[in-house]
Structure 1
Amino acid sequence: MTVSTLSAVPEATASGTAPYAEPDLALRLDWLSRSTDVGRQAVARAARPDFEAWLSHVRPASACMRPIRLAGTSLTVDAATGRVLVTVDTAGMPDGVIYKPCGNRRETVCPACSKRYQRDAYHVVRTGLVGGRGVPEDVAQHPAVFPTFTAPSFGQVHTRVVRRHTCARRRDCDCRAEPCHARRDLTVCPHGTRLLCFVRHDNDDARLGSPLCLDCYDHDAQVVWNLQAGELWRRTTIAINRQLRRLVATRGIPHVPTVSVNGRVRTVPPVRLSFGKAAEMQRRGVVHFHAIVRLDGIDPTDPTAVVPPPAGIDADDLKAIIDRVARTVGFTTEPHPAQPAGWQIGWGDQVLTKVITVAGRGEVTDAQVASYLAKYATKSTEVTGATAPRLTDGTVNLYADGDGTHTERLIEACWQLGQPREWRRLRRWAHMLGFGGHFLTKSRRYSITFALLRNTRVAFRRTQTSGPEQTTPAEQPTTLVVNFLQFVGAGWHTTADALLANTSAAMAREHQQTACEYLATIAA
């Protein structure tokens, strides 16, 4: 409790005013900001004279859970003369730093940044199917398929199978599932565990993905498969291209003459593949791939152009080739002390390929597959229950246990198999259960890039803050922004700062949503 030091009866002074010994406002705000009470921290921040400037300053990162704090100077330089036009020091900014969103794609780490990443991923994927933003719009007429490549079985696990879905939304599916592993004979494994389960599992059942017998399950083979999944995909794309070339030769489609870098003229097959791929971590702790494979042609005058493929090859041919390659492609890993003959790496039996269409006449539409891939681009190992950071010798024992749960045994397998030097990548990616690839990848000519979307967003924000340019592009001076910034921390200074910034971002999103709904009503 604060006790006032004002006199009960004012005393006359030479100036005719009463004495005033109340603590200064700045001291009160400093005391409140150092309080452990979030409410008092928020009051201290909101009562500061620069509160409005602070809200405007942190707006780009206001919804981020753990923003990056940068300090230093930023120079605007004339590209023609090298003269420094503007110098900005972060010392004169609120809190003395620049707040930058963390940009983490994982939904469990930062929902706001992952949502932005998901939206960008949606545009990257869908642009490769419908065109726009520099991609020709006639790609909508190119043959395209949506294959799903799964991993083989490494042991029997609890699963949920619905033979016929009647739900409107698969995310909220409440359909009656089949019994997990119903058998008439009481099959018993060598470890004395009955390999049966009559439970009709719900979507949120914690047992889904866990082995019926932990000791029978081949955890070593699974983490090695996760590690080699990227190489298996590379070999798969090579095999598909080879099958396409054979089909072109069989049907008598002529090759295209092109000019190489050294000026020599050579003929190449008239088709090539462009793809986008997303990796999904299943509940059993193994990845499988969802891909969009598009068939393009070759322009003799411009090898980088995206043109339609020649007549004579359609989506059904591409689908048949992918299904055939998925059944045959495979390889054997290098020898390991635990497996001198190496592990066999190949796709599982459940490979499903659907034809994509923009007009809505195929098995699946462009919007559906774009949403599907973008959704899994923000997922990771959370579905398995594994949320470990990158592991070290000092922290691995907190998450690995050879006699523990399914995910603990997978992490233990990564750590043990990663002891040899040539297998160290298993230890590096032990927190990802062995998978070290990107969760969303694409070929070079498939679509636009994330960098293009980010640069467009930056240009839009600069237009919002500085207003539209009044000069033509030819009259605008060419300038460069050179930053001398260094990392000084991550996260908000106080819990109250995070509360105020997130509340401001939520109000802005609500206002934006209301405006969009109003515009949609007017348009209707």
Structure 2
Amino acid sequence: MLDRAARLRQLSEVDQDLIRLVQDPHFSRWVEQITATGGCAHPIHLTGSTTTRNVLTGEVLHHYDTRNEPGERLLIRCRNRRQTVCAPCSRLHAGDTFHLVRAGLVGGKTVPADVRERPRLFLTLTAPSFGPVHRATADGQRCRPRRDAGQCDHVRPLGCPAVHDADDPLTGQPLCPDCYDYPAHVLWHAYAGRLWKAFTDNLYNHLVARVGRTRTGLRRSLRISYAKVAEYQRRAAVHIHAVVRLDGAHGPDDPPPAWATADVLTAVARTAAAAVRLRTRYSAALGEHELRWGTELDARPLRAFSGGEGLADDAVAAYVAKYVTKGATDTRAGLDHHITNPDTITAAPVSAHVRALMRTCWRLGGLPELEPLRLRAWAHTLGYRGHILTKSRAYSTTYTALRAERADHRTGRTQPAGLDVITDAHWRYVGSGHTPGAALLAAGIAEDHARNRELAKEELARWDGDVV
């Protein structure tokens, strides 16, 4: 018979690591930590302590130290929003996003309930055309039917008689990559944040022109609050979905003037977007680029309850929450990790169109005059360097507040009213991720949590059906 050492050598790396973990005297506590993170795929390892004291008496109200933890470290969630990177954390991030967006639509989380009566729109702002691309069509319609279309200067057809569906690899790809304006596409992404700022500034300016007030006077009676999410189209260009709400000057606690209606906001949003123009000129080689929004703008009113016209608030919040968890591989527009050298672009599992955008970012990022745009650092997102979800300060609550509320609920710790306390915390980052065996166990815990959620949903649906 083989001795124990020989048997261990025959085991895989994962099996050996699992045996090591199970035999560790702190195994049960380690499982508790992994369960507390929901089976996070890439947990952060911290070491340190936290002490909360009564300022007046010096009494220690709470103390925690990692010295008694497995490996003298505490595991916390990575909080990555991308489902392709960490499914458990992305699911939690989607839930937080839903509540953040919904609170700004129907109230809750420190936002008054009467915000649902405010003028509110769901806007979609698109990027302009940088060159014709293949399109997905419905009802058997052709992509770009053109009689006697001819050819471009690169001897490629200017039309396409084919019928593409959404899953066709050609959908979103340029008819002629050599004609496509890749520098303009990348620069538009780099300035998307400034384009949005110009749009919101224009909203105020166009409201001023419509109601005949000064800008200062308008600011004293009206505030524009919003939450927006960026989404990549099949042509790998970002477009913006935004919930826009009109408040009084002091935010959600203050109603807007009577003249501020959804119809007024809709009309002003269209003219404000159409008027945005940003001109950039860095060098003679690049020339001047005029950056603007695309001509397609969708503006739809929102409703809080069933019936009537407009989109349902919960549906909009759920849509935004679902999108923020998508990784770059889900949208086929980039990578989930930074690019450190051009070889990474060559080996990237992306389309030729996306690869060309990445190479354009890398090439333009090497120009001294474009260094402030940090295009190489954001080549994996095709030059777009904004957050996927952003909001105005007064729109609703914050991710930080939602996480703090969840942590207090989970631990059951509440601070007595009127008690003056001070917290002394000392934490240090010591690593991240899992060993091979730990990763397998964490994946199992995450799968169990997901299954339990599905069973709970089915039971709730069954209960609702019985009540009806």
User: Structure 1 513/144 Cα, relative in aligned 2: closer, same or farther at 3 Å?
Assistant: same
Partner of 1:138: 114
Please state if 1:149 is matched with 2:149: no
What is the 5 A alignment of 1:55-134? Answer: 55-80=31-56, 88-134=64-110
Please state if 1:364 is matched with 2:295: no
Amino acid at match of 1:289: I
Structure-2 separation of matches of 1:131 and 1:100: 30
User: Structure 1 235/307 Cα, relative in aligned 2: closer, same or farther at 3 Å?
Assistant: same
* Gapped regions of structure 1 (runs ≥ 5): 4-22, 163-175, 257-265
Structure-2 separation of matches of 1:32 and 1:54: 23
TM-score (normalised: structure 2): 0.89
Q: Is the 8 A contact 1:33 1:41 kept in 2?
A: no
Partner of 1:473: 416
Structure-2 separation of matches of 1:520 and 1:457: 25
What is the 5 A alignment of 1:363-512? Answer: 363-382=310-329, 383-387=331-335, 389-392=337-340, 395-399=341-345, 405-424=352-371, 425=373, 426-463=375-412, 473-474=416-417, 478-493=420-435, 495-512=436-453
Partner of 2:2: 2
**Larger helix share, 1 or 2:** 2
Higher relative contact order (CA 8 A, sep 6+): 2
Partner of 2:186: 223
Q: Is the 8 A contact 1:236 1:326 kept in 2?
A: yes
Moved over 6 A (4+): none
Instruction: Kindly state the Cα deviation for residue 89 of structure 1 after the two structures are TM-superposed.
Output: 3.7
Partner of 1:168: none
Please state if 1:289 is matched with 2:265: no
Instruction: Kindly state the Cα deviation for residue 272 of structure 1 after the two structures are TM-superposed.
Output: 2.0
Structure-1 separation of matches of 2:166 and 2:429: 42
1:333 is paired with a residue of what secondary structure? strand
The structure number with the bigger radius of gyration is 1
TM-score (normalised: structure 1): 0.80
Partner of 1:315: 262
1:464-521 deviation per Cα after TM superposition (whole angstroms, max 9, x unaligned): xx7xx7xx9338x55444332222221112x221221221233244335434544565
Q: Is the 8 A contact 2:115 2:252 kept in 1?
A: no
2:264 is paired with a residue of what secondary structure? helix
User: Structure 1 87/178 Cα, relative in aligned 2: closer, same or farther at 3 Å?
Assistant: same
Please state if 1:275 is matched with 2:216: no
Instruction: Kindly state the Cα deviation for residue 432 of structure 1 after the two structures are TM-superposed.
Output: 1.3
Structure-2 separation of matches of 1:247 and 1:267: 11
Structure-2 separation of matches of 1:356 and 1:85: 47
Structure-2 separation of matches of 1:295 and 1:73: 45
Structure-2 separation of matches of 1:478 and 1:313: 44
User: Structure 1 239/380 Cα, relative in aligned 2: closer, same or farther at 3 Å?
Assistant: farther
User: Structure 1 2/131 Cα, relative in aligned 2: closer, same or farther at 3 Å?
Assistant: same
Structure-1 separation of matches of 2:9 and 2:422: 39
Percentage of matched positions with identical amino acids: 36
1:298-330 deviation per Cα after TM superposition (whole angstroms, max 9, x unaligned): 3xxxx3553222222310111011111222221
Amino acid at match of 2:203: I
* Gapped regions of structure 2 (runs ≥ 5): none
Task: Give the count of matched residue pairs.
Answer: 458
Q: Which one of 233, 241, 250 corresponds to residue 204 of structure 2? A: 241
Q: Which one of 209, 218, 235 corresponds to residue 172 of structure 2? A: 209
Instruction: Kindly state the Cα deviation for residue 214 of structure 1 after the two structures are TM-superposed.
Output: 0.8
Structure-1 separation of matches of 2:28 and 2:158: 64
Please state if 1:354 is matched with 2:300: yes
Structure-1 separation of matches of 2:239 and 2:52: 47
Structure-1 separation of matches of 2:363 and 2:16: 50
User: Structure 1 432/518 Cα, relative in aligned 2: closer, same or farther at 3 Å?
Assistant: closer
Instruction: Kindly state the Cα deviation for residue 145 of structure 1 after the two structures are TM-superposed.
Output: 0.9
1:295 is paired with a residue of what secondary structure? strand
Q: Is the 8 A contact 1:255 1:267 kept in 2?
A: yes
